[in-house]
Structures are given as structure tokens and as C-alpha cells.
Amino acid sequence: MIFFGASLLLILIGLYGALVKRNLIKIIIGLSIMDTGINMLIISLGFVKGGTAPIISLKSLFQKNSLLVDVSKIVDPLPQALVLTAIVIGVAVTAMALSVVIRMYSVKKSIEIDDFKELKW
Amino acid sequence: MVIILEYFMIFLIVLMIALALFAIKTKDLLSAVIASGFISLVASIVYLYLQAPDVAMTEAAIGAGITTLIFVVAVRKTKGREK
Amino acid sequence: MRKIVAIVFLAIIGFYIISIFSAFQFGDKYKGVSEHYVKEGIIENRGANLVTSIVVNYRGFDTLGEVTVLFLAATGLSFLLFSCKCEREFKRIKSSLVLRTATDTLFPMILLFGAYIFIHGHLTPGGGFQGGSVIASGVMLLFLSFRSFHPNHKTLSTIEVLAGISFAGIGLLGLVYAKSFLANSVLPLGQWNRLISAGVIPLIYIAVGLKVGAELSGLISDMISTTKED
């Protein structure tokens, strides 16, 4: 339950940073904090208190093609599989956003969002 | 032992939230980048407590290593300091 | 004014997140598809690591899509950075002797460790994504310590293409020999908890590991090497 609160706070802090700040790199930092919060929320959904990791490699747990361990004591592996790929995609998307920022800096010599007024009306 | 581990997790969570607030509040972009990398490192320890060793390995290698380097390069290329 | 609007907005979002997730019981028994994965996954796939059998077999098509997204992001990044007439005036500083000596010793070990992680992906924690990112962080160490280091982009893209083709090819073999794309009945399943077991899962994870390692190394190289040297 504390993990739910922590991830909720991380999501809200990251979103606040992305909404209020005017520096482009600060906005991307806020989005990456939000990313960490969301991943932790999904992982904590599958957590079973006192459970074991979903890796069955002890001889006593699996014999003659049947599972001897209590299934409800294994942590849910599905959220972990989802978050695993989401982290790798997150770094690629962050790098892409930062390259857009570098490109914008080469045009205006500034990364403050107030200096880009062309689309304002 | 279990109780000590739970108090340690509460400490780590408070540390993460404090680091997130610091990363949003500070004016120096390099400090903000280092703080957000540290959040990822602490998050990987939390994933280990949540019995997700696969995710913990990914977060430690990518979140704390590669993302921080990419942010530092971008800050250096844009001579970053927040106004 | 801006801050007040943002805080009101955040309060609304926070309220909805809490009201959605308060319906879930945290740490409750799971039902539905995860129960099948936990109960039958080890019998159907013979891999000790259930997360690996989900990522590679049950959701293998999803993983192929994610690898494609990674490839597209890396391509877009290099397109944006190399077509840019950014001034390249930043210097790469010469690194210290301690860092260079440590890199000489550590780099082969990091490569070996990354390869170990993705070859043993079906037995121990780890797999293609983790091993690939460990290899990329080794390449990152090389960039930090030698200022005139350039990886060969031809080699990187060749590795990437071959790994991607073998992933899709193994999937198509599943379509030929079994009834679905990426089905795990091309190779014999083997015995549980051995290195050569679990059918095509280790082969696919080796391909994913090489692809992720090459892609993230290319991404780091694109980010750093657009700065001018010396």
C-alpha cells in the first residue's frame, strides 16, 4: 500500500514539473520521473506479501512435470513482463525528445519555452 | 528482520519523493539530472523488494546508467541553466 | 496563476487515479490469464523464469513490436542529429589515467557478463533487454574514457539487421511447423532447468539481446559523437 502512495506522489510530482516548468530539459526530467512512478505502480499491483519471485529453479519445487509450490505464493509475472519492455522503450523515447531539444537549441540558442513564439496566436 | 526491511523501504520511498521534489525545484540542470538518475537507482532497490529481479536489473542498467548519460550530454550541448 | 491551474488539474487526476485503484486489492490473488501463465507456463515452455516465457513466448508478438519501436526511435534520433547544422564547438576532455586503466580491464568482463545474462535468460533473472543494456553501458564506459573512440556503424547496423531478421525468421518457422506465429514447438522442449532447453526461447532472447545492445550503443554514439573532437 505504501508503494501505491509513493508511485502516486511520483506521478503527480512529475506531471507538476512537466506542466509548470518552462525549461525544455526540465519538462523531460519531469516526464521521466512520471515514467518511474507509473512503472512502480504497475509492479506493485502484482506484489503478493511474502511471495517469491516468479523464477522456479529449485529442484524441490518442480518434479515430474507438476508444480509443487503453492501458486498463490508466487508474485504475478505479467506486470513485470509489461514493465520490462516499457523501461527500454522509455529510454529510446527520452533520447528522441532530447535530440529534438538539441535541434531547437541550434535554431534559437535557447531552451526556454517562452522563446518559441511562432505557433502562438 | 522483516520489520527492519519495511522501515528501510519507507526510508527509500521518502528519499525518492524528496529527490523528485529537489529535481523539480532546483535551478541547476545538472543537479536535476543527477537527482533523477538517483531516483531510478533507488527504484531498482524497491523493485528488488517487490520480488521483480528482472525489472530491477533493467532499471539499474538503463535508468541509472544510459538515461543519465544522455541527459548529461544534452545539458552540455545546450549550455543549460534554467533562468 | 499557472501554478494554481496546474495544482487543480493534478488534484483531479489524483482523485481519479485513487478512485480507480482503490477498487483493486493490492496483494490479492490474481485471476484470469496470469493464473494460467503461472500454473501452465513452466509445463508448456520448460523455462524456469516465468517472466521470460511471458515476454518471449506468450507475448512474443508484442516484443517484436517493442523492438521495432526502439529501432524507429534510434533512426529518428540519428536523422535529427546528423541533419543538424548545430555548432560543434564542445570539447571532449581527456580522461584520467585511473578511468582509462580500469576501462581496459573491465570492458571485456562487462561484455562477457552481458552475454551471460542474455544466454541464461530462461534460467536466471535477466534476458535480452537486460543483457543488451549491460553491453551498451560497457560501450558507454569506452566513450567516457577514450576521446577518439568511434564504433563502426556498419558493423552495428549489420548486427542489428541480422538479429532482427533472425527474430522474425524464427517466428515464421513457427508459422510453418506449428500453427501460430512464434509458436514454441519448432525445437524440442528438452529438460527443465538445463541450458539447452525451453525450445526457441533462448535463441529469440539472444537475438533480442544483440539487437538491443547494438541499438543502444548506436544511440549513445549518435548522442556523443556529434560533438567535435579535441
- Kindly list the residues from chain A whose CB atom is less than 8 angstroms away from the CB atom of residue C84: 102-103, 106
pLDDT at B80 over 60: no
In tens, the pLDDT along B24-60 reads: 888 888 889 999 999 999 999 998 888 888 889 888 8
**Distances in whole angstroms, Cα of residue C118 to Cα of each of A108, B57, C124, C196:** 44, 12, 10, 13
Report chain B's C-alpha Rg in angstroms.
Answer: 15
Distances (CA, A) of B65 to B8, C107, C135, C139: 24, 15, 11, 11
Q: For B67, name the nearest residue in chain C, comparing CA atoms only.
A: C220
- DSSP calls for A60-120: TTEETTEE-S-GGGBPPHHHHHHHHHHHHHHHHHHHHHHHHHHHHHHHHS--BGGG--TT-
**CA count, 13 A, side-chain hemisphere, B68:** 23
Residue C92 domain flag? yes
- A112 DSSP β-pair partners: A23
CA distance C227 to C218: 15
Buried b (16+ CB within 10 A) or exposed e, C151-186: beeeebeebbeebbebbeebbebbeeeeeeebbbeb
Q: Are the Cβ atoms of A91 and B67 closer than 8 angstroms?
A: yes
For the entire predicted model, the pTM comes to 0.86
Would you call A80 and B54 a contact, using CB atoms and an 8 Å cutoff? yes
% of chain C residues with pLDDT over 70: 90
Give the residue from chain A lying closest to C46, CA to CA.
Answer: A65
Q: What is the pLDDT of residues C161-217, one digit of tens each?
A: 898 888 888 888 888 887 777 777 777 777 777 777 777 888 888 888 888 888 888
Q: What is residue C112's predicted lDDT score, i.e. its pLDDT?
A: 92
The residue of chain C nearest to residue A85, with distances taken between CA atoms, is: C66
For residues C114 and C129, give the distance between their C-alpha atoms in angstroms, rounded to a whole number: 10
Residues of B in contact with C110 (CB under 8 A): none
The pLDDT value recorded for residue B42 is 92
Say what the ipTM of the complex is.
Answer: 0.87
Alpha-carbon span C99 to C214, nearest angstrom: 23
| pLDDT over 70 percentage in chain A | 85
Rounded-to-integer distance, Cα C61 and Cα C114, Å: 24
**Structural domain boundaries of chain B?**
2-77
Domain enclosing residue C87, as ranges: 2-225
User: How far is C150 from C146, CA to CA, in rounded Å?
Assistant: 9
Check pLDDT > 70 for residue A96: yes
- Domain-located, residue C230: no
Give A13-27 pLDDT, tens digit per residue.
999 988 888 888 889
Residue B59 vs residue A74, higher pLDDT: B59
Q: What is the DSSP letter of A55?
A: B
Report pLDDT for C64: 87
Pick the range with the lowest mean pLDDT from A45-59, A94-108, C10-24: A45-59
- Tell which A residues from 53 to 72 touch B, by Cβ distance under 8 Å: 53-55
Residue C229: per-residue pLDDT: 40
| Average confidence (pLDDT) over C137-160 | 83
B81 has pLDDT over 70: no
Tell me if B71 and A29 make a contact (CB, 8 A cut-off): yes
So what's the pLDDT on residue C54? 84
Question: Average pLDDT in the A92-120 region?
Answer: 82
Please, what is the Cα angle at A115 between A109 and A119, to 5 degrees?
A: 120
Q: Where are the domains of chain A?
A: 2-50+73-112
Higher per-residue pLDDT: A102 or C226: A102
Inter-residue contact C186 to C200 (CB < 8 Å): yes
Domain assignment of residue C160, yes or no: yes
- When mean pLDDT is compared across A102-111, B8-17, C99-108, the lowest value belongs to A102-111
CA dihedral sign, ordered C42, C47, C52, C54 = negative
- Cβ-in-10-Å burial (0-12, 13-18, 19+) of C228 comes to exposed
Mutation for testing the C interface, residue in A2, A99, A105 having most C CBs under 10 Å: A99
Chains touching C, CB cut-off 8 Å, 3+ pairs = A, B
Reported for C146-152, long-range contacts at CB under 8 A and 24+ positions apart, including other chains, are C146/C95, C146/C100, C146/C103, C147/C92, C147/C93, C147/C94, C147/C95, C147/C229, C147/C230, C148/C229, C148/C230, C150/C221, C150/C225, C151/C217, C151/C218, C151/C221
Is C223 an interface residue toward B (CB < 8 Å)? yes
Q: What is the CATH number of domain A2-50+73-112?
A: 1.10.287.3510
Check CB contact under 8 Å for B80 and A111: yes
Q: What is the pLDDT of residue B22?
A: 92
In this predicted model, what pLDDT tens digit does every residue of A27-50 receive, in sequence order? 999 999 999 999 998 888 878 777
Cell 510530482 sits on residue: A13
* Number of compact structural domains in chain C: 1
Q: What is the mean pLDDT of residues B68-77?
A: 86
Looking at residue C75, its pLDDT comes to 86
The residue type found at C212 is V
Looking at residue C31, what is its pLDDT? 67
Grid cell of C146 as nine digits: 577514450
pLDDT of residue C109: 92
**Does the CB of A15 have a partner CB in chain B at under 8 Å?**
no
| pLDDT recorded at residue C108 | 92
pLDDT at C26: 62
Query: What pLDDT, on the 0 to 100 scale, is given for residue B83?
Result: 56
Q: Does A55 touch chain C (CB under 8 A)?
A: yes
Pairwise CA distance, residues C226 & A25, whole Å: 19
Question: The C-alpha cell of B76 is what?
Answer: 552540455
Instruction: State which residue of chain C sits closest to B52, comparing Cα positions.
Output: C125
pLDDT given at position B18: 92
Q: For C29-51, write each residue's pLDDT tens digit.
A: 666 777 778 777 777 777 778 88
Answer whether B80 sits within 8 Å of A39, measured CB to CB.
no
pLDDT at C230: 35
Mean pLDDT taken over chain B:
86
How far apart are the CA of C133 and the nearest CA of chain B, in angstroms? Answer: 6
Question: Which residue, chain included where needed, has cell 528522441?
Answer: A96
Mutate which: B3, B24, B38, B45, vs A, most A CBs within 10 A? B24
Closest-CA distance of chain A to residue B51, Å: 5
Q: Which pLDDT score, from 0 to 100, does residue A64 have?
A: 59
